[in-house]
Amino acid sequence: MASIEFYKYQGTGNDFVVVDNRSQKLDRTDKSIAQKLCDRKFGVGSDGLILIENHDEYDFEMVFFNPDGSQSMCGNGSRCAVKFAQFLGIIKDKTTFLSTDGVHEAIIENDIVRLSMQDVAQSKINSFPEHFTINTGSPHYVIFASNIKDKDVKEEGANIRYSDEFAAEGINVNFVEKQSKNKISVRTYERGVENETLSCGTGVTACAISHVLHGGVSPVEIETLGGQLSVEFELEDGSAKNVWLIGPAKNVFKGEITL
Ligand SMILES: N[C@@H](CCC[C@H](N)C(=O)O)C(=O)O
């Protein structure tokens, strides 16, 4: 049985167990590690596990797992990983690192992390009469609604995520309420967590792009259950370019767990 030192971080309430895995103490191919650590009753408890590993070309590699052991890109997790890399002394206040969907840049200003996201090509944005599907590193279903505070996000989100169209790959489901031209509120059901989380970075990015395609204006301020995020980008020929996700990321505590 190995004893693992971990750190707990949160980015607008999306919480993560973060491990310095530069010595490759943990086997990144073993998804049961994420299942154990993320379990809120039998483990530490979180919306995901992040391993920080060495990389030959970039400052570090961030390896992300959902609590069910599946892998995808995580926007809030990336912002937390950047703060952790700064804490470890791997970086100062700027970085270029590798994540699940490719290379990202980030800039740290106190507790705020500005994270570059991949451009979202027009081909990854599908517009339907009632909703959008957009891939911002992870796949998102975006639906505009009113009074989202009264929604049963877990039930309605699960209905879409487990529908015939999405059951196999899964999809994250975002309910968006327009507040003004540059402000929206968002609640998200996350695949891999299979529940509502307090915030989702790739999700609010997808929602901000959908909002601008509906007549909104960038930068878009986003209110989530866990706090405020901001997304800025330019729309060029239907594609979102120069996309940045901006918001806080904080260490909550440090601990040790026996696996
Ligand atoms: N919370 C994340 C998204 C994590 C991945 C997602 N659950 C998926 O499997 O697509 C974020 O902040 O982007």
Co-location of 95 and 153 in the same domain: no
Cβ-contact 132, 117 below 8 angstroms: no
pLDDT of residue 259: 87
**Ligand 1 site, residue 66, Cβ cutoff 6 A:** yes
- The verdict on whether residue 75 carries a ligand-binding annotation is yes
Q: How far is the CA of 79 from the centre of ligand 1 (A)?
A: 12
Measured between alpha carbons, how far is 9 from 24 in angstroms, rounded to an integer? 20
81 and 61 both lie in a single domain: yes
- Which residue has the CA at smallest separation from atom 4 of ligand 1? 74
> What distance in angstroms lies between residue 89's CA and the mean position of ligand 1's atoms?
26
Q: In this structure, are 126 and 215 located in the same domain?
A: yes
Is the residue at 127 inside a domain? yes
Domain interval for residue 86:
3-109+249-258
182 is in an annotated binding site: no
Q: Is 38 in the pocket of ligand 1 (CB under 6 A)?
A: no
Tell me, what's the pLDDT at 202?
Answer: 98
User: Is residue 54 in a domain?
Assistant: yes
* Same domain for 174 and 140: yes
Interface predicted TM-score of the whole assembly (ipTM), two decimals: 0.98
pTM over 0.95: yes
237: CATH? 3.10.310.10
What pLDDT is attached to residue 2? 86
**Domain tally, the chain:** 2
- 117: in domain: no
Could you identify the atom of ligand 1 that is nearest to the CA of residue 136? 13
Say how many residues make up the chain. Answer: 259
pLDDT for position 162: 98
Rounded to the nearest angstrom, the distance between the alpha carbon of 202 and the centre of ligand 1 is 6
Q: Are residues 76 and 97 in the same domain?
A: yes
Does the annotation flag 201 for ligand binding? yes
Residues 243 and 131 in one domain: yes
Q: What is the pLDDT along the chain (259 residues), one digit of tens a residue?
A: 789 999 999 999 999 999 999 999 999 999 999 999 999 999 999 999 999 999 999 999 999 999 999 999 999 999 999 999 999 999 999 999 999 999 999 999 999 999 999 999 999 999 999 999 999 999 999 999 999 999 999 999 999 999 999 999 999 999 999 999 999 999 999 999 999 999 999 999 999 999 999 999 999 999 999 999 999 999 999 999 999 999 999 999 999 999 8
Active site residue 74: yes
